[in-house]
Amino acid sequence: MSRLRVFHDTNGGEAVKTTSQHEEIARELRAVGVRFERWEASKPIAPGASQDEVLAAYHDDIERLKREEGYQAVDVVSLNPDNPDRAAFRAKFLNEHTHAEDEVRFFVAGRGLFTLHLGEEVYEVLCERGDLIGVPGGTRHWFDMSEAPYFVAIRLFTNPAGWVANFTGSDIAGRFPRLQAASPAAPVAP
């Protein structure tokens, strides 16, 4: 289930707001300029799927977004807990950074934790299958996939180079909760 928790940026231990209601998450994020929508993730894609498989399955949705928003680059992040490079891949996204352009992710399987540092607040957004999040360029943020990643996300960018991060040098990300691996007793739906 998708979730939003809002913290003051000096206290990662106590959320000042928590909701799992999708409409409320979307409303709260829209108020701070972040796009959050529920989309149909109906194609049978599992973590570990190749980029070509994912792009082919969601071709029409991707092309529509490219036409509507002017996105020029598309890629796929697809990881499962057995990926030998998972720790290095996770570390790449765990520090606060920005992008010069908008970053959009559509989760077609699994889950990931997007954390946005907006003013004096930190918005922790647990994204799951069917969630689309659009982070405006210049927004300080980080992303966690847990120690045992299980997700497939389509990423869209206006920059033809794709994912280009500008790290802030702040240690804030280390002071906020990380995504815990899904329990084997309660697997995440593909």
Task: Decide if pLDDT at 170 tops 60.
Answer: yes
The alpha carbon of 100 is separated from its chain's Cα centroid by a whole number of angstroms, namely 17
**Rounded Cα distance, 27 and 36, in Å:** 8
49-56 contacts, C-beta under 8 A, 24 or more apart: 49/76, 49/78, 49/109, 49/152, 50/78, 51/75, 51/76, 51/78, 54/78, 54/108, 54/152, 54/154, 55/154
The pLDDT of 167-186, averaged and rounded, is 82
Q: Measured between alpha carbons, how far is residue 12 from residues 79, 111, 133 in Å?
A: 27, 21, 22
What pLDDT, on the 0 to 100 scale, is given for residue 184?
Answer: 45
Confidence class for position 190, pLDDT limits 50, 70, 90: very low
The pLDDT of 163-186, averaged and rounded, is 81
Residues 128-167 pLDDT 10s:
999 999 999 999 999 999 999 999 999 998 877 666 788 9
* Check whether domain 3-168 has CATH 2.40.50.140, yes or no: no
Residues 32-91 pLDDT 10s:
999 999 988 777 787 777 889 899 888 988 998 889 888 888 989 888 899 899 999 899
What pLDDT, on the 0 to 100 scale, is given for residue 153?
Answer: 92
Task: Decide if pLDDT at 102 tops 90.
Answer: no
